[in-house]
């Protein structure tokens, strides 16, 4: 989705699946009650509850954790700092209600400095990441590179997904996908009738009757690969499919074996499937779910240049490459103060970067101050979304400067 409609977040509500049915695939036969819920889960006042009940309303694939978890020590204290937004100085706690927060985790120098749950969420709540899942895709590409399963980021996409020959993705490289510069024509706006995003949303997210990435086969080229930034969920979903093909296993299993277990994640994660088990595929564009602290551990992995739980899991060189901006203009990203790297948003004029998902989900990492912030939210869609995002960015910058032990 193009982002004056940040407001419509493809990253935002990047959850949405295919416009064409796979021949011979039997419909998931989703009940009308469930379909209606899925149609309205982004409405007020349902969003907060919907974001943490995904496992009840969708087919899912688990990302299993190990029996022992990576311990995160605590440092006592509260959020005793301020941030400035629109010329007004705010106490840090204002961000909680102002930006519709459901959970907040601030980690400084590897220690939890703040952990808050609101609106009846708790430490066991699994929150939907929305488009933060795209950044998890970036991590999986790095793992597959380290494992020798992906040979090079300059490889053509069709080397791994040959059925995309003749589509808009023919001629696109893995790196083009990661940078959202595939050149493919795709509009993520699932609110507007007639868009590819709307058809995908209804067919795969609501009805679960078609695979999201099947729609990639009928895409057309809009721009030369590498030339134009176009934030969209199909590029990210094709990355997920490419990883699946490269490692020759479902991404839920690969993520479990290569990250979730060795990093000592505390709880299982899970993906939404775009169809019943055995038919549906993990929706890697925005259907990943985890608990707050495990999102924090992802942030610490990136802060530690691929090291987590005492182990080098992700190549350090890839962490640096994947968080270095390739798009350095917020005019191009259409997101004030944000550039773009490999499925990570970068904070312009700083070394910080963030995963970012619809309704205000963040995994923010600042290598300079050794800060990780995770924020799970149920913010608005439409024009009000950008105000929430900008206030959150102001809070995150202040959190980076904050020293809880001062």
Alpha-carbon span 364 to 344, nearest angstrom: 10
Burial 86-116 (b: 16+ CB within 10 A, else e): eeeebebbbbbebbbbbbbbbbbeeebbbbb
Q: Is a pLDDT exceeding 90 seen at residue 305?
A: yes
Among positive and negative, which fits the CA dihedral 164, 144, 309, 299?
negative
What percentage of the chain carries pLDDT values higher than 90? 77
Provide the 10 A C-beta neighbour count for residue 380: 19
Alpha-carbon span 187 to 33, nearest angstrom: 28
| pLDDT at residue number 290 | 98
Q: Is a pLDDT exceeding 50 seen at residue 386?
A: yes
Average pLDDT, the chain: 90
pLDDT tens string 61-93? 999 999 999 999 998 788 999 999 999 999 999
CA distances from 208 to 30, 186, 200 (A): 7, 20, 10
| pLDDT at residue number 277 | 84
Which burial class, exposed, middle or buried, applies to 322 when counting CB atoms under 10 A from its CB (0-12, 13-18, 19+)? buried
Longest Cα–Cα distance in the chain: 64
| pLDDT at residue number 70 | 97
User: HSE-up of 269 (CA within 13 Å, CB side)?
Assistant: 31
| pLDDT at residue number 45 | 82
> Rounded to the nearest 10 degrees, how much is the dihedral formed by the CA atoms of 256, 262, 268, 273?
-20
| pLDDT at residue number 335 | 95
| pLDDT at residue number 130 | 95
| pLDDT at residue number 39 | 81
| pLDDT at residue number 198 | 78
Mean of the pLDDT values across residues 158-181?
98
Q: Is a pLDDT exceeding 50 seen at residue 3?
A: no
| pLDDT at residue number 77 | 80
Q: Is a pLDDT exceeding 50 seen at residue 13?
A: no
Using 50, 70 and 90 to split pLDDT, how confident is the model at 9?
very low
The contacts of residue 131 (CB under 8 Å, 6+ apart) are 9, 10, 11, 12, 13, 14, 233, 236, 285, 286, 355, 356, 357, 358, 361
Mean of the pLDDT values across residues 123-148?
98
Q: Is a pLDDT exceeding 90 seen at residue 204?
A: no
> Which residues are 63's β-sheet partners?
269
pLDDT tens string 207-263? 888 889 999 999 999 999 999 999 999 999 999 999 999 999 999 999 999 999 999
Mean of the pLDDT values across residues 114-134?
97
Element counts in the chain: helices (H) and strands (E): 13, 15
Domains detected in the chain? 3-401 (3.40.710.10)
Sheet with 127-128, strands from edge to edge, namely 60-63, 269-272, 288-290, 127-128
Residue 108, H or E segment: strand 101-108
Tokens of 104: 């907040």
CA distances from 230 to 182, 186, 224 (A): 8, 8, 12
Residue 5: closest CA among 223, 188, 205: 188
Alpha-carbon span 206 to 37, nearest angstrom: 9
| pLDDT at residue number 1 | 37
3-state secondary structure 302-340: HHCCCEECCEECCCHHHHHHHCCCCECCHHHHCCCCEEE
| pLDDT at residue number 6 | 37
Mean of the pLDDT values across residues 133-143?
98
pLDDT tens string 257-283? 999 999 999 999 999 999 888 889 999
pLDDT tens string 19-46? 333 333 334 478 998 888 888 888 888 8
Using 50, 70 and 90 to split pLDDT, how confident is the model at 196?
confident
Q: Is a pLDDT exceeding 50 seen at residue 7?
A: no
Using DSSP, state whether 27 is helix, strand or coil. Answer: coil
14-28, 137-151, 161-175, 290-304, range with the lowest pLDDT: 14-28
pLDDT tens string 313-371? 999 999 999 999 999 999 999 999 999 999 999 999 999 999 999 999 999 999 999 99
| pLDDT at residue number 22 | 36
| pLDDT at residue number 405 | 79
| In the block, residue with structure tokens 């992700």 | 314
Alpha-carbon span 253 to 186, nearest angstrom: 29
What percentage of the chain carries pLDDT values higher than 70? 92
Alpha-carbon span 188 to 215, nearest angstrom: 12
User: HSE-up of 312 (CA within 13 Å, CB side)?
Assistant: 8
| pLDDT at residue number 307 | 98
């Amino acid at each position: 989705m193009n982002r004056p409609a940040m407001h419509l977040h493809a990253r935002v509500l990047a959850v949405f699946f295919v416009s064409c049915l796979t021949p011979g695939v039997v419909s998931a036969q989703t009940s009308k009650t469930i379909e209606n819920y899925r149609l309205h889960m982004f409405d007020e006042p349902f969003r907060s509850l919907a974001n943490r009940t995904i496992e009840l309303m969708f087919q899912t694939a688990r990302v299993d954790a190990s029996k022992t978890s990576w311990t995160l020590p605590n440092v006592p204290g509260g959020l005793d700092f301020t941030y400035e937004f629109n010329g007004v100085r705010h106490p840090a706690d204002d961000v909680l209600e102002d930006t519709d927060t459901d959970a907040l985790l601030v980690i400084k120098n590897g220690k939890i400095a703040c952990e808050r749950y609101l609106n009846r969420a708790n430490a066991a709540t699994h929150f939907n990441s929305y488009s933060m899942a795209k950044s998890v895709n970036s991590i999986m590409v790095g793992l597959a590179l380290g494992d020798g399963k992906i040979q090079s980021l300059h490889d053509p996409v069709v080397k791994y997904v040959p059925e995309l020959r003749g589509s808009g993705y023919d001629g696109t490289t893995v790196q083009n996908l990661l940078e959202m510069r595939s050149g493919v024509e795709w509009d993520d706006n699932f609110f507007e009738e007639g868009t590819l995003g709307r058809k995908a949303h209804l067919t795969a997210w609501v009805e679960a009757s078609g695979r999201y990435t099947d729609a990639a086969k009928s895409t057309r080229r809009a721009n030369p690969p590498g030339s134009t930034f176009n934030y969209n969920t199909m590029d990210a979903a094709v990355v997920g499919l490419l990883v699946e093909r490269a490692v020759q296993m479902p991404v839920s299993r690969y993520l479990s074996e290569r990250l979730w277990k060795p990093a000592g994640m505390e709880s299982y994660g899970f993906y939404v499937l775009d169809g019943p088990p055995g038919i549906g595929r993990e929706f890697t564009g925005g259907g990943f779910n985890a608990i707050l602290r495990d999102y924090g551990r992802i942030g610490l992995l990136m802060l530690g240049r691929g090291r987590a739980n005492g182990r080098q899991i992700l190549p350090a060189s890839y962490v640096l490459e994947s968080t270095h901006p390739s798009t350095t203009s917020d005019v191009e990203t259409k997101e004030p103060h944000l550039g773009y790297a490999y499925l990570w948003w970068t904070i312009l004029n700083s070394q910080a970067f963030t995963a970012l998902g619809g309704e205000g989900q963040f995994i923010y990492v600042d290598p300079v101050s050794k800060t990780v912030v995770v924020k799970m939210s149920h913010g608005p869609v439409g024009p009000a979304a950008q105000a929430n995002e900008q206030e959150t960015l102001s809070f995150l910058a202040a959190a980076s400067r904050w020293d809880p032990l001062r």
